[in-house]
Amino acid sequence: RLIAFSSIVTWCLTAVIAKYLLGFSWQLAWLLGAILMVTGPTVVGPLLRQIRPNRRVSSVLQWEGILIDPVGAVAAVLVYEIIAHSHFSLFEIVTITTQTLLIGVVLGAVSAVLLVVALRYYLIPDFLHGVSFLVVAIASFWISNVMREESGLVTVTILGICLANQHYVSVEHVLEFKEHLRVLLISCLFIVLGSRLQISDLMEIGWIGIPFVLLLVLVIRPLSVYLATLRSGWDMKEKLFVGAVAPRGIVAAAVASVFGLKLAALGAGDGADSAILEKAELLAPVTFMVILGTVTICGLGAGPLARRLGLADPNPQGVLFAGAASWVREVAAALSKYDIRVLLVDTNYGNVAAARMAGLDAKCGNILSEHVQEEQDLAGIGRFFAVTPSDEVNTLAALEYLHVFSRENVYQLASSGKAHGRWQSIPETRRGRMLFASDINHHVLQDMVDDGAIVKSTTLTESFSMAEFREMHGEDAIVLFCLDAERKLKIRTSANKYEPVAGETVIALVPNSASTASKQETT
């Protein structure tokens, strides 16, 4: 709906305010509306990773930004062709649109098939996968544009969709290469395009550019989203947030720059309608002003708005556990008492059922499964604990979730095997941060719980310090976490053996003998 309906509403209303606020001719106004209907996935993606709203809102915004780019580019091409060739008929417009879509779908799908076959039959060495994908994407883009101008964006979008949804070969390593390349190329492209823009160009727009941007952000976008999501099952909070997030990005800047140059050349030619192209040189400056305005407003306002609406946690303290053994359930239950969201994923349905009986959120599935990663709502969760009995699964899971939570927030238990000589443990660069301590593994914790150990929460005071806590519960008590005065979770690791202080709450695994002694002493 956002692609098929909201974009049309945005296009029309943007053209109207461009005509009456900026004084553009109707032809230029329609061209500007087509350019500004796109949102920027290169801006939306990092913004969503920072805010971490709920899964439904995040997914829709991400895919809207990806899919609307070729739609806006094709619409801009059609309007430009009408401006350049005033004799354009409706039949020719339909023909161009059909050709663009047909070429994009066929060429994109064929390119994807070729890449999948090449990887499936090991025709490309692993170290050349990233470069090969890049070459195929550029070649597909170029061939598509040769066959039909500006159809390249459709082609590479279809190529990406096909590769992302096939299940024959893994493309995760290519995604990592793509992320690094994307940051580099987009940064350079913004510099190149921005270098063409002079401050005098922005000054020529005048103060009227401010209400133009504000109308786009505060009126047109929310209205178009509201109309597109009627009877969609979304609540008003979700509609408000999606309606507030529509930063324009590199595609709008690039398309505006290209057509600005073309219209300038067209205006300099013989027979050009000077009235139509009178303000063509303002096309790129207006677009850059909208980019600056929308990115600034969304960048500063989207986070507070999401938290105000309850769609995001300002400081996600929640924990995703890979594993749901009895000791993991005890730890998760202790955290949930402090309103820290926990989610347990395990392949053992008995563990999952026990967790659910204890009132915990638990899912039965393989933590390494792509389905589990894509389907789970991670709103409010900011850390990952790999705590299964298998050291290999813990390491693989930690590597898998590094791109989701970043290396700082991915933890795993110490290895249960030997850690010297030829049995040297896995290096730190290939695993998560070591949870609790280097000599505490799954079997140690499970044995303690089997022997009657309990997870105990204790608030330290000036008169009851950490020294008194250890005297009461013994040196065998394992400090797992502590909560500071602001209820922020601090995690003990092998490299950071943080000692709680007065005012903080200690969450520790207390052995049975120590807990029994404390009960007798209390009695």
Judge whether 472 and 416 are in contact, CB under 8 Å.
no
Of 212, 210, 209, 253, residue with least CA distance to 13: 212
State the average pLDDT over residues 340-369. Answer: 91
Read off the pLDDT band of 329 (50, 70, 90). Answer: very high
Q: Does residue 192 register a pLDDT over 90?
A: no
Q: What is the pLDDT of residue 325?
A: 92
Q: What span, in angstroms and rounded, lies between the C-alpha atoms of 437 and 479?
A: 10
Between residues 267 and 352, the one the model is more confident about: 352
State the average pLDDT over residues 468-483. Answer: 85
Q: Which residue has the tokens 């005098």?
A: 200
Q: What is the pLDDT of residue 13?
A: 94
Q: Does residue 513 register a pLDDT over 70?
A: no
Q: Does residue 314 register a pLDDT over 70?
A: no
Tens of pLDDT, residues 200-259:
777 778 788 899 999 999 999 999 999 998 888 888 998 999 999 988 887 788 888 878
Q: Does residue 514 register a pLDDT over 50?
A: no
Sign of CA dihedral 344, 348, 352, 355: negative
Three-state secondary structure call for residue 207: coil
Judge whether 115 and 131 are in contact, CB under 8 Å.
no
State the average pLDDT over residues 68-97. Answer: 75
Read off the pLDDT band of 75 (50, 70, 90). Answer: confident
Three-state secondary structure call for residue 318: strand
Tokens of 417: 């095997």
Report the range out of 446-455, 480-489, 500-509 with the highest average pLDDT.
Answer: 446-455
Q: Do the strands 361-364 and 381-386 form a parallel or antiparallel pair, or are they unpaired?
A: unpaired
Q: Does residue 515 register a pLDDT over 50?
A: no
Tokens of 206: 């005048």
Q: What span, in angstroms and rounded, lies between the C-alpha atoms of 272 and 257?
A: 20
Read off the pLDDT band of 523 (50, 70, 90). Answer: very low
State the average pLDDT over residues 458-485. Answer: 85
Between residues 418 and 395, the one the model is more confident about: 395
Q: What span, in angstroms and rounded, lies between the C-alpha atoms of 136 and 142?
A: 10
Considering the chain, what is the average pLDDT of its residues?
83
Q: What span, in angstroms and rounded, lies between the C-alpha atoms of 153 and 252?
A: 13
Q: What is the pLDDT of residue 88?
A: 62
Tens of pLDDT, residues 89-144:
777 778 887 888 899 899 999 999 999 999 999 998 988 999 999 999 999 999 99
Q: Residue 307 is which amino acid?
A: R
Q: Does residue 356 register a pLDDT over 90?
A: yes
Q: What is the pLDDT of residue 273?
A: 56
Q: Does residue 270 register a pLDDT over 70?
A: no
Read off the pLDDT band of 346 (50, 70, 90). Answer: very high
% of residues, the chain, pLDDT over 90? 23
Q: Does residue 309 register a pLDDT over 60?
A: yes
Of 351, 245, 258, residue with least CA distance to 299: 245
Q: What is the pLDDT of residue 326?
A: 92
Q: What is the pLDDT of residue 276?
A: 64
Q: Does residue 516 register a pLDDT over 60?
A: no
Tens of pLDDT, residues 412-465:
998 876 554 444 556 666 788 888 888 888 999 999 999 889 998 888 888 888
Q: What is the pLDDT of residue 320?
A: 93
Q: Does residue 520 register a pLDDT over 50?
A: no
Of 475, 502, 501, 481, residue with least CA distance to 493: 481
500 secondary structure, DSSP code? P
Tens of pLDDT, residues 157-190:
889 888 888 888 888 778 778 878 887 887 888 7
Q: Does residue 500 register a pLDDT over 50?
A: yes
Q: What is the pLDDT of residue 107?
A: 95
Q: CB 227: neighbour CB atoms within 10 A?
A: 12
Q: What is the pLDDT of residue 521?
A: 45
Q: What span, in angstroms and rounded, lies between the C-alpha atoms of 55 and 40?
A: 19
